Structure 1
Amino acid sequence: MGMQGNGSFEATRWTLVQRVKEANKEEAREALNVLCAMYWRPLYAFARGYGRSMEDAEDVVQGFLAKGIEKALFSAADQEKGKMRTFLLTAFKRYLRDEYVKESALKRGDGKVDTMDVAAEEARWADTDAADPTVSFDKRWAIIVVESAKEQLEKKYENEGKLELFEALSASLMGELDEGYQEVADRLGISLSAVKVGVHRLRKRYGEMLRAEIIGTIGEGEDPDQELRYLIGILSD
């Protein structure tokens, strides 16, 4: 069965990581491509948050992911060791440091690195002011989780033959419906109570989808509800 690379897929992130580690070469490469496509945006947001230009940020993210493919980046990921977003950001910071070391050596022209320059760069990365790029990374990560859960929910309603109902009620996932409940009921030809029940059920299923998405990225034994609260909170800031 093929996998999708548009931010929505049947397997959890950790299932995909296991495929990278254990599946045959074709399936492993397909799983890796899905993971890379999925997490490009948070990495790009992080790079931009450190003041890199759009072009430079694109280059450094593509370089990191290309190296990740070559060096089997995700084969080092382990659900027992914690969240995937923490693993990925730590690996990206390490890559940025290595690239800075290379650039610094090239600028000096003697192949040597000024350790004080590297220390200053690392200190800048550790700065946690209001413009902390880690927040940008986490926000993009949260958006991916929300988008993926909504896409999975839409697929579920479509498979049940209820896509029209989903489209009519989906605005309730972010707040209230654009139309009044009675207007929706009249347009769909259903009762007012059916609309109210539909909204309640849609929100409940969406919460379940969000939680499932979270479980697919956190480490064993970690609290999915705590992670969900964090990601929802960071989107609300």
Structure 2
Amino acid sequence: MTGNTQPSHRNISRSRWSMVTQHAIAAPQDPRSALVELCMHYWYPVYAYVRRCGHAPDIAQDIARGFLQNLFVHFRDDAAALAQARFRAYLLACLNAFLADDWRRTPDGEMASELRHAPNNLELRYQRDNIQAQSPEAAYQRSFALEMLSRATHRLRAEARQTGHLPMYEALHKFLAVEPLAGQYEELARELGRRPLALVVALKRLRQRLRELIGEELADTVSSHDELDAEMKVLHSILREQAR
């Protein structure tokens, strides 16, 4: 997905990451749920990093679960790390520190209920997205971007279903990041009983809405609009590299 994405209209000061960074000390109970939600959203890049380090799938899953549990328990211990404005960078720094330590130790505290069941298809996604990744960090960065894109795309599809436009979405979603070939608009128009121009307009709207949803997902991982702009540039760079 390329092109300029406008910053989300979401209030950055109320993003999940802002809740964590601003209230970790002042409100001991409030930020934990926000951090749990963020980590559950981005379990996949953690798994991809650990897999690219050479661990087998089952071991990588256990390490990812142990790391996230450790993060939930100890995230207030490092004020300097929490001061980082970007969740993506914070998560990777914490993961590196965890792996450099004795990660075989049982994490402290009761296991968070959200961690008892890992997301589905992590290994399948890893094999598809990162089997040729040159380094663990490359696998992490790519997986983080793809997870964000996946979350936004799922929201876009749900909106199409809710508004009664699911057939149009299903016909056009494969063109969200690439241009249709000559004649494809006409072919789809015949299948859907629509005019080709209507499909052109619909695809333009879908792309714009996807950019907005990506902005909203990304906004949840930063604590300022400046950081949102910077992260958007990083995301575009990673996705362009993925498309090559």
The TM-score normalised by the length of structure 2 is 0.67
Deviations 1:114-163 (A, max 9, x none): xxxxxxxxxxxxxxxx7221000001101101101111212222232212
Deviations 1:27-47 (A, max 9, x none): 866544432322221111111
Q: Give the structure 1 partner of residue 234 of structure 2.
A: 227
Gaps of at least 5 residues in structure 1 are 1-9, 103-129
Relative to structure 1, the CA distance from residue 85 to residue 133 in structure 2 (aligned partners, 3 Å threshold; closer, same or farther) is same
Distance 1:62 1:33 in 2: 12
Aligned residue type for 2:243: S
Q: Give the structure 2 partner of residue 15 of structure 1.
A: 15
Show the 5 A alignment for 1:26-175.
Answer: 31-72=34-75, 78=82, 81-99=84-102, 131-175=134-178
Deviations 1:174-231 (A, max 9, x none): 3245982122222222212111111122122222222332333245222244223222
User: What percent identity do the matched residue pairs reach?
Assistant: 28
For this pair of structures, how many residues does the alignment match?
199
Pair 1:213-2:204 in alignment: no
Please state how far the C-alpha of 1:65 moved relative to its aligned partner: 1.0
Q: Which of 159, 167, 181 matches 2:185?
A: 181
Distance 1:74 1:187 in 2: 58
- Equivalent residues of 1:19, 1:28 under 8 A apart: yes
User: Which entry has the higher C-alpha Rg, 1 or 2?
Assistant: 1
Relative to structure 1, the CA distance from residue 69 to residue 100 in structure 2 (aligned partners, 3 Å threshold; closer, same or farther) is closer
Aligned residue type for 1:214: L
SS of the aligned residue for 1:59 comes to helix
SS of the aligned residue for 2:55 comes to coil
Aligned residue type for 1:236: A
Relative to structure 1, the CA distance from residue 36 to residue 218 in structure 2 (aligned partners, 3 Å threshold; closer, same or farther) is closer
Relative to structure 1, the CA distance from residue 151 to residue 24 in structure 2 (aligned partners, 3 Å threshold; closer, same or farther) is farther
Relative to structure 1, the CA distance from residue 159 to residue 19 in structure 2 (aligned partners, 3 Å threshold; closer, same or farther) is farther
- Equivalent residues of 1:142, 1:232 under 8 A apart: yes
Deviations 1:32-68 (A, max 9, x none): 4432322221111111222222232222111111122
Distance 2:18 2:223 in 1: 14
Aligned residue type for 1:217: T
Q: Give the structure 1 partner of residue 197 of structure 2.
A: 193
Alpha-carbon RMSD across the aligned residues, in angstroms, is 3.4
Q: Give the structure 1 partner of residue 243 of structure 2.
A: 236
Relative to structure 1, the CA distance from residue 100 to residue 215 in structure 2 (aligned partners, 3 Å threshold; closer, same or farther) is closer
Relative to structure 1, the CA distance from residue 53 to residue 16 in structure 2 (aligned partners, 3 Å threshold; closer, same or farther) is same
Range that drifts further, 37-46 or 172-181 = 172-181
Larger RCO, structure (CA 8 Å, separation 6 or more): 2
Aligned residue type for 2:66: G
